Each structure stands twice: as structure tokens, then as C-alpha cells.
A and B are shown apart, each in its own frame.
Chain A
Amino acid sequence: MTDATHDTRPAARPAGRIPQAAYAVIERRVQTAVSLAILGLVLLAWQFLPPLLGVPRYIIPTFSQCLAELQRMYQAEGLVGHTISTAIYTLLGFAIGSALGAAMGYLLGMSRFWEKVLSPYILALQIAPKVAFAPLFIMWFGYNAMPKLLVAVLIVFFPVLVNVLQAMRTVDRDLVNLARAYSLNRWQIFRKIEMPSTLPNLMAGLRIASTLAVIGITVGELVGGNSGLGYLIAYGGGQANAAMVFNAIILLTVIGFALYLVLERIEARVLHYIPRAQG
């Protein structure tokens, strides 16, 4: 509290002289600049600190060594193919897992009985570490795309399911009653009340799921694959090629980030009717 009174919003003072809108633009530019400066600092530290401290390249390769390795991976290791493979399976796993999760969430949300009957098992499966299933799936399906896809589907499934189910439980009863009073049938109530009411939760579930999908695919590729960035991590690790592992991790992050950003865009469009806080 005392802090707040001390610096009475540095934003408020200059706003008196500069128009509010212009001030907002300046503020945003400053934010971007500081953000980029931090990135620059990290890259500099990454480049110069390890040699300075005598850390060898198989422990922490420098930024430029990683870039050189990236170039080599592009030429010799089929990097583009591996990246695309991982990206596609991530997307596929995410799509299948969240579709199943959402469908299951809505079905259980409509039946109190089945929700009660199945919830302990759902909870158990939710708690079980899904990535640990990977070796099992490889034993069952062999060294192909199936195991990693299954791990991703499984890991994506639950957060979506749980979010949707939670939202179905908390749909405003008065809205449902209003719809009933207007003689809407069960399907119409679902389509016009429950489905849109649960959309914010569904979107939140999807955002969590998008980051998990990357994990699922990576683990699948790590454990038993011959393609994808996860495979490159295992391969690079085996050769003590830390730069390769670094690069693969960064590319995985980029894939996850891209998926997240797309979802955020979709969410902003779909949930346009929810007033959001400034900034």
C-alpha cells in the first residue's frame, strides 16, 4: 500500500502534457525496446560467458557455435524434414486429443450419472504420468508414428476434458431455465447456451493442451523414433553434441509457441464479447 502511494503511477504524470493515445504508443515502444534489450543481453552472455568461465562446448556451446551447428544440421541432418515432422504430429496429436477431450467433456457434462461413475477413473488417468506410457506404446505399435501420437493425444486429452467438464457444471442454471421456458429442446440448449457458455474454459484448456502436445510428441520421439526433433535430441545427446540438443529444444519451443499464438488469436476472435483488461 505504501509503495502505491509513493510512486503515484509514473504513467499518470506525463499524460498531462502528452495526449493519452500518444503516451500509450510510447509506453508500448519502451516495453518492446526493453524486451529486445533483455534478449540481446542473454545472447551476449550466452556467446561470451561460457568461454570466459572455461565451460567446454560439449557442456554449453556458444550462440555462434549453435548457429553453425544449425547450418550443419540443415545441410547434413535433414533438419527441415525433422522439424516439419514434429510440427505436423504435434498439430495432429493436439487436434485429435482435444477433439476427443472436448467431446468426452460435453458428454459427461450432460450426464450427472456417468460423470459420477467415471470421475474416479478419469482422475486416476489424469494423475498417471502420461509420458511413462511411451515405452508401452512402442512395445505395442512398434517404431512408427503411432506411439508418439498416442502419447500426445493422451496428454492433451485430460486438460481439455477437465476444463470442459468443469465449465459444463457451472453453466448458469437460470440461463438454462430461461431456455427451457422458451421451449428450447435439449440439443438447442446445448448449442445455444451450454456450448457458448463453456467456450472460455474450452479455449483455456486448448491453450494448456497446445503446450502439452509438444511434450507428448517430443517424449515419443525421444524414446523410440527415427524422425523428428525429439529424435535429434536423443541422437545429439548420444554424440555429446550439445549444440544439436540446444537447437532442437529451441525449435520445439518455436513450434509450441506458434501453436499457442495461433490459439490466442482464435481465442481473441471467438471471445470478442468478453471485455478484457487494457494491455
Chain B
Amino acid sequence: MALEFRHVTKRFPTRTGKEVTAVQDVTFTVNQGEFVSVVGPSGCGKSTILSMTAGLYGPTEGEVLVSGERVNGPNPHVGFMLQKDLLLPWRDIVSNVEFGLESRGVDRQARRARAMQELVHCHLEGFEHQYPYQLSGGMRQRAALARTLAIDPEIILLDEPFSALDAQTKLLIQNSFAKVIAEQRKTTLLITHDLAEAVLMSDRILVLSERPGSVIAEIAVDLPHRDEPLRRRTLKEVGDYAAQIFTLLKLEEKAVA
């Protein structure tokens, strides 16, 4: 098991002194090499799940395990990516990709070699000495993926990494991410509110309820071409899956109202 949430509840103190429950009793597992998406209405605690996996903060109740080990702090086996590329504007692309390796006792030459290798995987060779502002949004996200892959994480966490891209770039970047992730057999957790994206890219989809978020459904996407969303997109079943999730989320909304 690459990632496991066991009865995880997270409460945050608010300004007024009350507590707000972000996620409630969340239990799920992600297997080695699996691509799992988490969808749900906004504010349902999707990002909380991601932050707890990365070890930025711990759960209030329950436990999070990565590769069978309990997460107790920033976890070196986890790489995460946000909607923002979080590239350091003062570094060129290759130095940005090296960033994650700098606290790991990897020497300079090995870092550079590793970074260049990932830049090639992410089709950014030739851009290594450009600065982030010189690259398009899609290329910057690919550079961020290269940085994430450079630390050779056991799990990749993606928090809506495509939502700031325009529609066409989004399809292409989804495709290139899916390919690279499949090639390297990385376990991936994708947080998204784009239902089609979830269906196109995942093996399995977890549907969360409104806040406090808990898993209300788990859908196995039984379609080929996970490594090529552009091809999977042409399958007619995709629409059925999206519709199924849509219904689930709608129903949940009504239940709350």
C-alpha cells in the first residue's frame, strides 16, 4: 500500500475560537503505481488531504501512512504540485528542478545530471537555462513536474495542477503528465474539481461530500489508455463516468440542503 488514510479527521481552529471540521473520518488506500483522483465540491477538504499526506500538518484523529510508515512531518517520499507552479523566479529552469535535491546530500554534479534527465522526460531540453517568466504556463507546469520527479518520490500529489491552463494546453499537459507518470510507475493522488479530468487520468476516483468532507463513493474507472488521456477521451464511456459522479455530487448537495 503506497498511501493509506485511516479514519482521518482534521479540525482547524477558527478566528472566533470555534473549530471547523475540514474532513471527517476519511478512510481510503492508494496502491503502488495507482492513479487516484479525489473530486468533490469546493471547500470539501481536498487540499487538507493533500497537506496531511505531504506532512505539512498532522490529522486531529486517525493516521496517515505512506508506504506503511506513519507520516509525522514533512515527508521526503512525497512530491507535491499545486495549481501555481511554485518555480522560483530567480532561478533558471534547471536550478529550479534541482531545488528539491539540495537538502538531500546529493552533490552538485549528480544534481545537475538528475535534473537534466527529468527535463528530458518532461520535454524541456533546450529550456534549462531559461527563467520561469520566459516560459508559457504549460511549460512551467512541466518544469514543476520535472522538479517533483527529480526527488524520485514514492507518491506524487497533484493539487489541481491543470486548472490555470487554457483548455487546449490543459489537454496536452494532462497527456504529457499521464505519460511520464505511467512510464515511471509513480503512485499519484490528483485533487481536482474537473470531473472529466478525473475520469481521463485515473484508475480510481474518490468522491468527497461537502464539508466536513468524507468519502461518499469510490469509482473504479475501467477504461484503457490511462497513460494517454487524449485517446481515452475518445471513448464514449467517459461521459457515463462523468455523469455518474455528477449525479453523486448533486445528490449530496440535495441531502445537505
Contacts and interface: CB of A to CB of B under 8 A. Distances in A.
Interface of A: 172, 174-175, 177-178, 180-185, 188, 192-193, 196, 199, 273-275
Interface string B53-74: 0111000000000000000001
B90 to A, nearest CB: 5
B88 A182 contact: no
Contacts of A174: 82, 84, 86
Interface stretch (B15-23, B98-106, B163-171, B176-184): B98-106
B86 A273 contact: no
A232 to B, nearest CB: 44
Nearest to B132: A273
Given A177-B56, A273-B133, A275-B133, A183 B86 contact: no
A183 B74 contact: yes
A181 B56 contact: yes
B100 A182 contact: yes
B74 A181 contact: yes
A185 B105 CA distance: 13
A196 B56 contact: no
Contacts of B151: 182
A25 B82 CA distance: 43
Given A180-B56, A188-B103, 12 more contacts: A174-B82, A174-B86, A175-B86, A177-B54, A181-B55, A182-B74, A182-B99, A185-B103, A188-B102, A196-B90, A273-B131, A274-B89
B93 to A, nearest CB: 11
A254 to B, nearest CB: 33
Contacts of A182: 74, 76, 99-100, 102-103, 151
Contacts of B88: 175, 192-193, 196
Given A185-B103, A188-B103, A273 B78 contact: no
B111 to A, nearest CB: 13
A238 B246 CA distance: 86
A273 B100 contact: no
A177 B82 CA distance: 11
Contact of B133 (A193, A199, A274): A274
Contacts of B29: none
A273 B78 CA distance: 29
B27 interface: no
